[in-house]
Amino acid sequence: MIKGSPVTEADKKIKEYEREGKWSHAAELADKQAEKTKREDLKTRALENYKKAGYNFDKYDTDT
């Protein structure tokens, strides 16, 4: 969340999913909201939650 910005319903739902350990749900919602709002903090949060959900992005990295 951006410091000083209002808390959105999506922010609340993401936090709820995180608290419940539903990492993939939290990641997908954060990713979707990041695309809509262009919020870089949500994109970072989505990536962190995807990693917690067990996704391994390193094996998909095509930059060699």
Token reading at 51: 């990693």
Instruction: Single out the residue of 12, 20, 7 nearest to residue 52, CA to CA.
Output: 20
Task: Note the pLDDT of residue 25.
Answer: 97
Q: Does the predicted TM-score (pTM) go above 0.85?
A: no
Q: What's the half-sphere exposure (Cβ side, CA atoms, 13 Å) at 19?
A: 6
> Is residue 59 situated within a structural domain?
no
Which residues are CB-neighbours of 1 under 8 A, at least 6 positions away?
7, 11, 41
Q: Is residue 39 one of the residues assigned to a domain?
A: yes
Q: Which residues span the domain enclosing 31? A: 9-54
Count the domains in the chain: 1
5: pLDDT strictly greater than 80: no
User: 8-61, pLDDT tens digit by residue?
Assistant: 999 999 999 999 999 999 999 999 999 999 999 999 999 999 999 999 877 655
